[in-house]
Amino acid sequence: MFNGISRIQKQMMRFSLFSLIIPGSPKKMLKKAACILFLIICIFSFSACGGSTAETKNVSETTTEKKSYDDIVNDILTCYGSDDANKDEQYASLFSELEEEDSLKAELVQGILDYCDYLNSDDFTINDSVLPDGLPETNELCIVVLGYQLNDDGSMKNELKGRLNVALNCAEKYPNAYILVTGGGTAKNNKTATEADQMAEYLEKNGVSSERIIIENKSLTTVQNAIFSEDILRENYPEVTSIAIVSSDYHIGYGSLLFEAYSILTEEKVSDKNLSVISNAAYKTSNKPFSVQSQMKGFSELLSSY
């Protein structure tokens, strides 16, 4: 009779049955019997509807799932970009989880975040208007010019022209380097115009040989700039090993991070053809640089596209 119910429920039933045998008037006995019957019904209803709290807790604990690699990495990026005073402890704990899940990928993520530390430190230099001295003088160097949204009619905005003028300075200083222009169709009222095609035309009109220009005209974000551009270089230009980013000053760090991150992530797959971001040149603006939170958002988008 007592199978399947808790110890407390059994004790309640015993107490109820014991009270039934205590002498009393017939009227009182009838009331007691009705109350006891109601109590027994409630006890069995409770047992059928879920049992004890301990049993429910055990079921909950056994159904807890282990976090996936992607979930752990996203938690790491959120932690890295936060201003929480206790984030170092949380960051270390999450990285331990990631190392248990996949030690090789943990090493890659750590390498990218180390590079991000460098980009946000005083050691990182944004070069104004032209690349610095000391870069490769051969065609192993590729100057990558990041696009900027076109006007509605497909013409270039002044900021994009400013980036291209910086690219012209760099092309003149390093005459053997390739120049890759990247950016897709962003003109609201001109579906055939692309940033990269407009950029290539501008460079040619200003004296750059078409043989030096590489066009990537499908990308719509900086993440896609990095992926599509590096894929073209790996597949079609094996001589290229070094990349110099040209963009607006506030965008240099963000662009450099995504290009270097994609290079690191693909290194394990294409070990004999790695690309490195080695320098930059910027078009000067009055805008503030991308925040660390924005950098982590872009990194997360890159990981989901990778």
Helical residues (DSSP H) of the chain, grouped into ranges: 7-20, 26-48, 53-62, 69-80, 87-101, 103-119, 158-173, 195-205, 222-236, 249-267, 292-305
In the prediction, which pLDDT does 45 show?
54
DSSP H or E stretch at residue 81: none
In the prediction, which pLDDT does 66 show?
72
Q: What's the Rg (C-alpha) of the chain?
A: 33
Residue 32 has pLDDT above 90, yes or no: no
For residues 117-121, average pLDDT: 96
| CA gap 94, 100 in Å, rounded | 10
Residue 62 has pLDDT above 80, yes or no: no
In the prediction, which pLDDT does 70 show?
87
Task: Report how far apart, in Å, the C-alpha atoms of 281 and of each of 115, 143, 255 are.
Answer: 18, 9, 12
| CA gap 223, 302 in Å, rounded | 6
Quote the mean pLDDT of the chain: 86
Residue 305 has pLDDT above 90, yes or no: no
Residue 52 has pLDDT above 90, yes or no: no
Per residue in 262-302, pLDDT (tens digit) is 999 998 666 556 899 999 999 999 999 999 999 999 999 99
| Residue 206: pLDDT band with limits 50, 70, 90 | very high
Per residue in 100-111, pLDDT (tens digit) is 999 988 999 999
Least confident of 76-90, 131-145, 216-230: 76-90
Domain ranges in the chain are 7-62, 141-291
Residue predicted with more confidence, 8 or 155: 155
Residue predicted with more confidence, 5 or 228: 228
| Residue 54: pLDDT band with limits 50, 70, 90 | very low
* Top-tier CATH class for 141-291: alpha beta
Least confident of 16-20, 86-90, 175-179: 16-20
In the sheet where 213-216 sits, what is the strand order?
Answer: 213-216, 178-182, 141-146, 242-248, 276-283
